[in-house]
Amino acid sequence: MSREADAVYVEPSHGSPFRLPLAGVRAVRIVPLTAGDHHMQQARGGWQVALQRADGDVLVGSALRDWRLAHVLAKQLCETADLPLDELTAKMFSRVGEFGPNSPGM
């Protein structure tokens, strides 16, 4: 991932590289996705990283199955584009890393 002027260039390990224009972008967000209905045996979901804009989000690649990968990607975008996490995403991930398997109450 790199920044050139008004865009971030992403070269994923799978798939083609793509460009994310930064004009109007206010923050980076992670959106939890759900899919399925009560007739399905297993619900499917994922985590979509997006650039928050007033006129709608710009999706960053495909949805990721693991929240940890989405969190890493969002943090990389924040650092590369000098953007904050949006408020809800920051709250959702504010305690990541505080608890482990040997933490009290686990």
What pTM was computed for the model? 0.80
Tell me: the pLDDT tens digits for 5-64?
899 999 887 778 999 999 999 999 999 998 655 555 555 689 999 999 999 999 999 899
Q: Residues 6 or more apart from 80 whose CB is under 8 A from it? A: 1, 2, 3, 8
Total number of domains in the chain: 1
Task: Classify residue 48: in a domain, yes or no.
Answer: yes
Task: Classify residue 84: in a domain, yes or no.
Answer: yes
Confidence (pLDDT) at 95:
76
Q: What is the CA radius of gyration of the chain?
A: 16
Q: Which domain holds residue 66?
A: 25-36+44-92
Tell me: the pLDDT tens digits for 48-74?
999 999 999 999 998 999 989 999 999
Confidence (pLDDT) at 92:
85
Report the alpha-carbon distance of residue 76 to residue 99 in Å, rounded: 23
Task: Classify residue 87: in a domain, yes or no.
Answer: yes
